[in-house]
A = this chain, B = another copy of it.
């Protein structure tokens, strides 16, 4: 797009009020001092300042994945500022990890408190010398939102480490059960030092094709999203089952989808029975995010729970991206009404603090077994405390449901209006995605939206994923609709 054409686009879309005629209200107050709408200052994004900084960064670090350089001091609520003065509506939110808005005043206030300052600059080895307020802080943060049936918390630094440590907990539990609680044998104690069985047993975690669970060696062995994540890295020979590839909308294809899910469940059970390495655990995302926002129904997940129970396989639900309210409930797996809870639920991203919930069976037989220097970061638990308080006080889950409903209805209108462009709309809460005809089209639409002032992200082969903050309101979505309509009109003319 050349500069003059873009500038005309800018003038056209600055000042447009809304696409939808009726914008619902929510119980959440407006974000204090937020921008009114996107503001565009440069003909391209990244603009000249971002490009100059990228060249500078290139001398020190790989800058190739950067969309632009952000000005966080000038970002506010749902809007991210860049170094060139552009203000974008952020519906991607640092890969789904900003919970309650940039420069949230409550977080600013809390961050300046002595409690936070001490937590930041006196970073403890939490397992060895926990702070005096640590048990109370766990109660006021993690335990305020603990999934039903899981009363223990393991704290970590990031989502990959949360899953990695969850796998370790599963393997330790599996071997503990197998030993019948007996102590380690001399053979186990010696063989593990040379990475050999029986001390380093050959066990596996079953995951799903198109799943994403992290980038470290254990989690990467379960990640099956894209080749670019896995190429050249040694991996464990662990099994991968097919995740249901359902037809959308789910309520229209109930019978077809049930058949697909039954086939997938049968494949899971077959793999557990026949894989050449015993399957100790299974990990699944409630909605496969990186792999393309693939949904399944509660029936499927209940089936997984039944199969894992039947075969003594631990069930890990990876809520790193789905957790913390984005689906309209605090945890996506609450939508399933399982007959018994998952064994482990992992989290990170919008929780800001990372780790996993578990029950006492998954505490290792001895201390120092599932361990590291920091065991998480107390300042992130302090952050979670504020975020949870804000979610409750400002009714953010209600808002997610109202905003999500508005988003889904509006996108459905787009699907009707542009059926050759917008396909397979699916979502829960504001955790919403749709497909474009191809990956190239998807990339072009993401780019076009950015140049109109809306930041979104891709996933899978050809999908756009919406990952608004919990403080996104229908009127923010209306701004997206305006710009999306313009983008699709341009694309329709080209096609």
Residue interface mask A196-208, B partner, CB < 8 A = 1: 1001111110000
Further pairs besides A157-B158, A196-B237: 20, Cβ < 8 Å: A49-B132, A53-B130, A60-B153, A61-B153, A62-B154, A62-B364, A63-B130, A112-B117, A120-B383, A121-B383, A158-B161, A168-B215, A192-B231, A193-B227, A203-B234, A216-B216, A216-B217, A217-B236, A228-B369, A229-B368
Among A49, A59, A117, which residue has the most Cβ atoms of chain B within 10 A?
A117
Partner of A131, one of B72, B129, B158, B192: B72
Cβ–Cβ contact B195 & A235, under 8 A: yes
Question: Is the beta-carbon distance between A158 and B373 smaller than 8 angstroms?
Answer: yes
Residue ID in chain B nearest A234 by CB atoms: B203
| Bound CA span A363–B234, Å | 18
Q: How far is the CA of A132 from the CA of B53 in the complex (A)?
A: 7
* One of A28-36, A95-103, A308-316, A329-337 at the interface: A95-103
Taking the closest CB of chain B, its distance from the CB of A355, in whole angstroms, is: 10
Q: Which residue of B lies closest to A146 (CB)?
A: B60
Q: Does A251 contact B (CB under 8 A)?
A: no
> What separation, in Å, do the CA atoms of A379 and B380 have in the docked complex?
12
| The one of B102, B203, B372, B379 that contacts A120, using a Cβ cutoff of 8 Å | B379
Contact A230 B95 (CB under 8 A): no
Chain A interface category by residue count: 35 or more
Q: In the complex, which residues of chain B have a beta carbon less than 8 angstroms from the beta carbon of A44?
A: none
Alpha-carbon distance between A97 and B126 when the two chains are bound, in angstroms: 12
Q: Does B127 contact A231, Cβ atoms closer than 8 Å?
A: no
Contact residues in B for A240 (Cβ distance below 8 Å): 194-195
**Interface status of A292 (Cβ within 8 A of chain B):** no
